[in-house]
Structures are given as C-alpha cells and as structure tokens.
Amino acid sequence: MDEDLNKPLFDMFIFETSQNLEQLEQIILNNEKGSCYEKNSINEIFRIMHTIKGSAAMMQFNNISTLAHRVEDLFFLIREHSLSNYDSEKLSDLLLDCVDYFKASLVRLESGDQTEEDSSALMQEITEFLAEIKKLISTPKGAEEQEPAAAAEAPKKVQTSSYNNRFVASFFFEDGCMMENIRAFEIVHKLEEFASEISYIPEGIMDSDSSIEEIRKKGFLINLNTNKSFDELEKFFTQQIFLKNLELNQLNEDTKEEAPQVKNEKTADKKSGNLHEASSIKETSGGPSVSNSIISVNVSKLDKLMDLMGELVISEAMVIYNQDLQGLDLKRFQKSSQQLQKITSEMQDLVMSIRMVPLATTLQKMNRIVRDMNKKLNKDVKLEIIGEQTEVDKNIVEHISDPLMHLIRNSVDHGIEQADERIKMGKLADGTVTLEAQNNGSDVLIMVRDDGKGLDKDKILKRAVENGLLTKPQNEMSDKEIFSLIFLPGFSTNEKITEYSGRGVGMDVVVKGIEEVGGKVSIESIAGVGTEFTMKFPLTLAIIEGMNIKVGKHLYTIPIKDIKEFFRPKPNDVFKDPNNNEMIMVRGNCYPVIKLHEYFHINPDAQELTDGIFIIAESGNQTVCLFADQLLGRQEVVVKAMPKYIKKVHGLSGCTLLGDGEISLILDIGGIIAIRSGA
C-alpha cells in the first residue's frame, strides 16, 4: 500500500474485512458438522471472498487479494457444479487456516508493518484441493477450462425465455461509504441469482478505480430481466446497505428497446446523465428513498463524547453545589437546576447506550477455540451460548476476550474428561461447556460452566504447598479460597506440559484482565459434577457510583460496588493476631484492619478508632476493613486517569473532580489488599 494512502479508506478496509472474516468463520463452524456446505453458505462465502479480493486489490495488498481470489475459484467450482461429495472437514480446516492468515495480515497492517506474510503454503494447499475437486466434476471435456474468476467477473447471461419482466434501476450510494465499485458489483452478483441480460453503467467496475468517482457523481444504472415483481425487486434493493436513493422503473413490451445498453455509448451517456435528474425527482417528490439507519463511527469520537459528557456532569455539580449559593433562597434556580439535572442524566444514559455493544461477537469467537481443542485433545465438547445479546461498554469488551479464552480453555482441557472416563462415571460421552451472559443491575455477569470432573481441593492444596503459595494455614482456608489458588501466577496442577496447560500461565491472566476493567471473578465447584467461573464487570468504566470519604485533609472515593457496609466500632473491638496485624470481628467474621492514614502516610483527624468510621470492602474473595475519618456521601463521579507525571501509587485507580472543585482519589481495593498480603 502506498504510504500516502487515504487513512479513512484504510480504516474502512480493516473494519469491513474484519467483519467479513468474523462472519466467514461462523459460517465455517456452522457447516463443518455436515457432509457438505449448504447452498446459501457457499454463496455467502463466495461473496465474502470476492469482496475481500476486490477491496484488497484496490488497497494493493496483493497476497491477501491473490489468496482470496484462489478461495473464490474453489467455491466457484463447488457452486457451479453443485458438488456435495467433497471432504467438508478438510475444506473447513483449509478455510480456517485462510481466516487465520487474513487476521494475522490485518494485525500486521494495523501495526504499520506493510510487508505481507507469505501465503505460498496456503496457495499450494488450495491448489491441491482444487485438483481433488476437479476430479469430482463429471462434465464434458473442456468445461473445466473456463477461468473461474473470469466467469465470476462478468455478469451471467441466462436464457431470457424464462424471464418476462424488464427493469431499469438507478441509485446512489451514501456519501463516504467508500469502495462504491465493489459495492455495485456485489449487488450485480446477487442479481445474477434471479435475473438475466444484466447490463450496467459504468462498465468495468472491477477493472478500473475510475468507476468509483463516476458512480459517486452519476450513480449506478442497471438494466435486467427477471421474473420478480416490482415490489419484490424494490424490496431487494432497499435491503442493500449504504444505498441512498433508488429509482426503479419497469419497462413494458413497447419500451424494452428503449432500455439502456452498455454497448451503445450515446445511450449510456444519455441515461447516465438522466440519472441525476431521476434521483432528484425521487427525493423532492416525496417518493420512497433508501436510507440506512446505522452508521459507523470511529471509537475515538465516542471516547471524546464520553469525556465531554463527564466534563458536563462535573460542571453541573460545580454550578448546583456552588458554595456561593449556600443559604440563599433561590426557588427559580432550584427548579431550573432540577431540569438541568434531568436533561444531563438523560444525555448521560444516551451517550453510554451509544457505547454499548452486544457480546455476541466476543462469545461466538469461543466456538473456534472449542473446535480446535476438540481436534487436538481428541474430545467432543459442545459449547452452548446463552445471552449473547447482552450489552456492555466497548472498552470493556476489548479487555474480556483474553480472560474468557483462558477460562474456556481451562474448562475443555482440565474440566471435561475423556469420553471413556465420562462413560464410566455415568455421564454422556460428549461434554458441555455453557457460556452465559446476563445483566445484573449496573453490572454484567459472564458465567463459564462445565459438566466435568470439578476441582480437586486436595490436589490444589498439595501443589500450593509445594510451590510455597499459601498465605495462611490450610485448616483456616474456605473452599473458595482454596479454589482461588489456581489464579496465582505459576500455579498448575498438570503434571505434563501441553500446548494448553502445564506452565502455570493463563489463569493469572484471567484475574489481571478482569481487574483491569474493575471486575471480579469467583469459582464454585463440585467434585464429579462440574465447575462454574463467574466474572462480574461494571457496565461502563467512565462514570461510576462512589462513596466519598475523608482522611485528614485528603478526599478519597470508594466504588460503591466494592463496599459491603460501614459502621462505627466500639472500644476494644480491634485486636491483634499472632503476627501483630490488627483485626476486627464483625458478626463472627474476622477481617484485617487497614488504616488509610497509615497506608498513605498522612495525618488523620480521628486519633481514636471510635472517632472514625469503618468501611468493609471486598475485592474478589478477599475482604478488609478500612478505617477513615468520616463519610462525605454517595455521588456519581467521572473517572479520570492519573496524570503520567505522577508516580504510580498502589491502591489508587484514578481520580475525579467533585462538585466543589476538590480532587478526590479513587481507591483500588484490590491493589490495597494485594499490598497488605504481600502479593
């Protein structure tokens, strides 16, 4: 690709190719269980490959374009000869290897590396598979000699005797949609399935990039024969993406000869020129127009919008709670401020909803992981997905893919037994991993369940002792605490090192990834029945509910989701354990005490424990009791990252600006607990 290539065009290529690859991968996984690919799937794969080929060629990514072209040739033969006796499993493996190549290439291109990976090995495999396909084709000699790609490039010419209706369609694409020639050819390609005698203006839409500008200025004109009715054809066009204006006319027998023919340059010029006029009439006359209700927006713009929304929330609080207004009787101001709060709240909800995306794509990716592991581990594990339309903030989605992948791998590798072992235990030979997502108030829960052998507490404890990972006596540890040991770095119960386990790497990544977005993970397991991992994430990271506290002259904010309760202690409630650590007993439960003024080395106002306040906070499966001077109240706060010039302090996750202009530091409960325990 040229260095001066238009960046928006490059971004569009990356986005659309990624979307196509996700769709392609799902089609492959849905079809590989059958003896052959369904007809609709074959057509869709052909369309995807053709789109990738054309857009990659336009961007001058020749290796990607050539490989896509070869896959297109393969499916052209399968489609044209209605083949069904090929090795579908081998085809799926080959296609998934191509998908991996395309994805790896996109990652390299996004990183700025313009040197494409070598695709010669894949090209050779496809060529060999093509040779096998050709042996299956029982057609007259010479029928195979037609070049598949060349045949695909030109519109089909079907016998016109069975097509009685003649139509002329003209339309424009939406401004900024990019790659108009490829989009036009996609429509022509779809029309070939039920139309004949297709001609269009401009010609050569895949041969020259100059057609892009012509389509933008004059639109695209199609002349065709079909048995479809006017309403059916209009519905077809209105379902095409990025279509802006449509003019569809049906020609009767007397006017068929007046239809535009691409071979006649004068007619082509005349009709292309009239296309502007037709579209203008269509828009101004109140006739139906085609407009897609979904637009793509760069994530950076959404981030900027959220930042501005946060600034607005802060400014609103600074105005409404301005100390200069204290004690004044301002009824009209209060009424106006209430209306402002209502509007701001609605805007905040709307901005947050714009950033919300379904988890479907992330969850569906796990099908590929289970599929590959089944092949390599010789297992038959099914993946069931529930609640894939659950929505979460886009920034969080980007962080949960890796933790989810490790949990799925753990369930398939460690959890699910081999078929013969499951049968001996009275279970079905094939295991099941269930991946479920659901909303829970202001949080999202993602559960990974398996019907495997469950976690072995004794084995976990034995390995933890061997590695010196225990921080308290075994007899004082609950089941959840024992299970949580598998999240420690370097922990593994596998005796042998395999591709998926044995090195003690993976489960600690789960915890780190989840904690990065303010989440938690917990484990429940029953021996012989199965294991369930539950991940809990906030819906968004930008604006949170927090409890403001004061320690000396300093202000801190604790996320509400981390607080269990708060109370004032009685004299002598606090005692010391054998290690000289301060502890407190609350309703039979013993919690470690962390005095925030000692932790942050500041002077407190409350010299005695009875003068301050205790806050019971938890992170993961660990709970502590924080001591502060006083509570200031609950407030919705905008999370801001700590400035880069400030040295990172463990126990702080960010900062926020309060309504009175004061800066409050947001506490990271998990970080505070980790420092205390020496982790």
Residue 118 lies in a domain: yes
pLDDT at 148: 47
pLDDT per position as a tens digit, 73-85 = 888 888 877 888 8
Computed over its alpha carbons, how large is the radius of gyration of the chain?
A: 32
pLDDT at 252: 62
Which residue(s) pair with 136 in the sheet? none
pLDDT per position as a tens digit, 647-678 = 667 788 888 877 677 888 988 887 788 776 65
Residue 402 lies in a domain: yes
Q: Assign residue 607 the CATH number of its domain.
A: 2.40.50.180
pLDDT at 506: 57
- Please report, as a single letter, which amino acid is at residue 618: E
Residues 208 and 173 in one domain: yes
Residues 416 and 516 in one domain: yes
Residues 178 and 73 in one domain: no
Residues 393 and 506 in one domain: yes
Residue 401 lies in a domain: yes
Residues 25 and 69 in one domain: yes
Residues 309 and 367 in one domain: no
Q: Record the pTM.
A: 0.63
Residue 1 lies in a domain: no
Who wins on pLDDT, 355 or 565?
565
pLDDT at 383: 92
Taking the CB of residue 379, how many other CB atoms lie within 10 A of it?
19
Residue 290 lies in a domain: no
Mean pLDDT of 286-306: 65
Residues 169 and 179 in one domain: yes
Which of 150, 172, 204 finishes a domain? 150
Residues 13 and 134 in one domain: yes
Mean pLDDT of 614-618: 90
Q: Assign residue 247 the CATH number of its domain.
A: 3.30.70.1110
Who wins on pLDDT, 55 or 385?
385
Q: Assign residue 353 the CATH number of its domain.
A: 1.10.287.560
Query: Which residues contact residue 429 at a Cβ distance below 8 angstroms, ignoring those fewer than 6 apart?
Result: 380, 419, 422, 423
Nearest partner of 302 among 344, 340, 343, 353, judged by Cα: 353
Which residue(s) pair with 543 in the sheet? 638
Residues 493 and 557 in one domain: no
Residue 99 lies in a domain: yes
Q: Assign residue 427 the CATH number of its domain.
A: 3.30.565.10
Mean pLDDT of 397-425: 88
Domain residues for the domain of 498 are: 359-538
Q: Assign residue 39 the CATH number of its domain.
A: 1.20.120.160
pLDDT at 448: 93
Tell me how far apart the alpha carbons of residues 106 and 5 are, in angstroms, rounded to a whole number.
16
Count of domains forming the chain: 5
Residues 120 and 102 in one domain: yes
Query: How much helix, strand and coil, in percent to the nearest 5, is found in the chain?
Result: 45, 20, 30
Residue 649 lies in a domain: yes
pLDDT at 550: 93
Which residue(s) pair with 392 in the sheet? 357
pLDDT per position as a tens digit, 323-342 = 788 778 888 888 898 899 88
Q: Is the pLDDT of residue 549 over 90?
A: yes
Torsion from C-alpha of 668, 670, 673, 678, nearest 10 degrees? -110
Tokens of 676: 């205390």
Which of 497, 520, 538 finishes a domain? 538
Q: Is the pLDDT of residue 155 over 60?
A: no
Residues 491 and 367 in one domain: yes
The answer to whether 105 and 57 have CB atoms below 8 angstroms apart is no
Q: Is the pLDDT of residue 179 over 80?
A: no
Tell me how far apart the alpha carbons of residues 54 and 492 are, in angstroms, rounded to a whole number.
48
Residue 291 lies in a domain: no
Tokens of 392: 């979460």
pLDDT at 253: 53
pLDDT at 207: 63
pLDDT per position as a tens digit, 207-220 = 666 788 888 888 99
Which of 97, 122, 150 finishes a domain? 150
pLDDT per position as a tens digit, 70-123 = 888 888 888 877 888 888 888 889 999 999 999 998 888 888 877 767 888 888
Tell me how far apart the alpha carbons of residues 398 and 517 are, in angstroms, rounded to a whole number.
10
Of 225-229, 390-394, 405-409, the range with the lowest mean pLDDT is 390-394
Which residue(s) pair with 171 in the sheet? 220, 246
Residues 397 and 503 in one domain: yes
Mean pLDDT of 220-240: 88
